[in-house]
Structure formats: C-alpha cells, structure tokens
Amino acid sequence: MSQAYLLADVGGTNARFVFLTTPRRGLSQKGVLTLKSKDFSDFFSLLLEARSVFKVEPRDTVACIAVAGPVFKGRAKLTNLGWEIEERKIKAKFPFKKLILVNDLFAGSASLAKLKKKDLKLVKEGRINKGVCVAIFCGTGLGVGVLVKEKPLTLISTEAGHIFFQALDSFDLTFLDFLKEKQKELSYEEVLSGRGLENLYEFFHGGERLSAPMITALAKKQDKRAGQAVKNYFKYLGRFCSQLALCYLPLGGIYLGGGVINALVDFLFEKEYKSVFMENFVSSSKLNFLLEELPIYVIGHPFPVLLGCKAIVESLEA
C-alpha cells in the first residue's frame, strides 16, 4: 500500500480527523470525522475509534496530531481534558511510519500559510499585510500561535492564553475579584474562552450562569443582559489582540478563529460591538500609529487546525 496521511485536531470539546492518500489533496467537510472528546476515557480509545472508521494501517501512515495543550519533548498534556500522552506510547500502540505531535495552535498558525482570500473575513484593514502573523483561537480554551515565515515553514508555539488578565480600571479589578472568589485562574483564558463568556455573564447578572451557546442565542435575540456580556467580551478581546500585537508586531495580520469567534462573528461586524473592539485594540498612548497599520481577519475555514496539520506534513515532504 502507498503512503497515507492521518491528520488530527484533538480539542477539549471536539476531536476531528481526516485521512488523505496525498497531503496535497483538499479537505472536504464530508471527509472529516468529528468525535466528542469527552465521550472517550483517554486519548488511545479516541485514536482507536478514528483508526477503525478510516481503516488506517499505521505502518503505511504518516500521522500529524495536534492537541489542545503544551507539547514538550514528545509529551503533551491536554489541559481541558486532563489527558497526558507521549509520542513513544502512541508509537507503541500505533506504529505509524512517522508521527508528528504538535500543539493545536502551532498547527493553527501553520494554516495561515494555506488560507485563501475566500476563507477570511476582513475586520480591519491594514496598510502592510506582509510579515509575521498571529493566530488567536477562542474555544474551549484560548490559544495563540505565530507564523514567522511560510518558506521554510517557521512557527512559534505559545501558551499566551494563560497570560494574566490585567486590570486597567476599578471595573476590571472588580471582575478580577469575582474570578478570584470563583477560584478561577486569573488569565485571559477565563475571559475569552467559552467559559470566559459564561464568567462575564455570571459577573454581570448576580451569579446566574448560562452556557456560552445560550448567551450567544439570547444576544442574537437582542437580549440586553446577554448583549452586555458579549460587548465586554469584545472589549477584552480587543485589549488582548492589542497586547499580542505589541509583543509580536504581526505586520502580516492578526487572525481570529475558534468556536466562540465563529459563534459571535456577526456581532463583530455590527457597529455597536465592533467599535468597542476597535477602541480597545487601538489603545496605546504611544504606539497607536503602529496598531493602525495591522490588518485583522476572522478565519472562515471550517477546519483551520487540520489545514495546518496538512501544511506541516507538506513542508516535511517538500
């Protein structure tokens, strides 16, 4: 049998797999297997299910597996599932011809080298559009990856979602105290992930907690309470983007993706919400002239992490 390719995006909520006979074959919605991560007791039972569905023969297969957690020296911890995995243990059970284990935002940032114009929605125009790119994915967790160069493919993996959330005024301090009382990590992940939106709603409305999908649905029905949470979500998203922009100087743009962004994307193009985002993005007393240069996009591709895995495999095969 000729060489084949198994690409995987294992997140805290969903795990997606695709099996390709060549890395240059396109990704199609029909070809992607989506499983609920929490339906499985561990990573190996999840991978076994994907192998069974696709009838994968590991010895003839190159696998690129992206996971929602830090990857270091061949080990990964999926922070929102509590799973720990190692390359050597995967190879012992599934002897792939080649195994590439990466952080999901490392793969997500690789996707920026493959996205086409039709895959992007422009939030803010820029004047440069060439250079380093930053990918920010807001979903079950919050992740950030950096594309330095397309050729050779050069990426930086980060854990920037766990940067401490910084208070700039008394309102922010009150919100921080709320997170502390709830024994939450005082990080941007607790503000900009799905549960971050839930935290904001609960903070504003006296302990009433709704799910992120319910908050989004209510906001779309013009519910003022939900709208208030969404508006403040964009306030803090703008601030986070601004801080990362000053860290990485992404002249190639900032790219927003993930389940929360996909659910809230329509609000980002409404004046009431977009103005809040932009005010908090262009908010440096000294460097606004630089922030104004940077384009910002929303990723519209349905499987950016799988696309990034594909880009990584292609770069190794080149």
Helix H, strand E, coil C: the string for 99-125 is: EEEEEHHHHHHHHHHCCCHHHEEEEEC
Is the pLDDT at 136 greater than 80? The verdict is yes
Give 273-293 pLDDT, tens digit per residue: 999 999 999 999 899 999 999
Q: State the architecture of 116-299 in CATH terms.
A: 3-Layer(aba) Sandwich (3.40)
**pLDDT of 68:** 87
pLDDT > 90: percent of the chain: 81
Residue written as token pair 């504003």: 204
Which of 261, 176, 255, 179 lies closest to 212 in space, CA to CA?
261
Query: Where are the domains positioned within the chain?
Result: 4-110+304-317, 116-299
C-alpha–C-alpha distance, residues 16 and 48, integer Å: 13
Measuring CA to CA, how many Å separate 49 from each of 6, 14, 35, 52, 129?
A: 13, 14, 9, 5, 42
**pLDDT of 318:** 63
Give 47-81 pLDDT, tens digit per residue: 999 999 999 898 989 999 999 888 989 999 887 78
Give 153-178 pLDDT, tens digit per residue: 999 988 899 999 989 999 999 999 99
C-alpha–C-alpha distance, residues 262 and 256, integer Å: 9
Is the pLDDT at 1 greater than 60? The verdict is no
pTM of the shown model: 0.91
CATH of the domain spanning 4-110+304-317? 3.30.420.40
Q: Phi and psi at residue 298, in whole multiples of 5°?
A: -105, 135
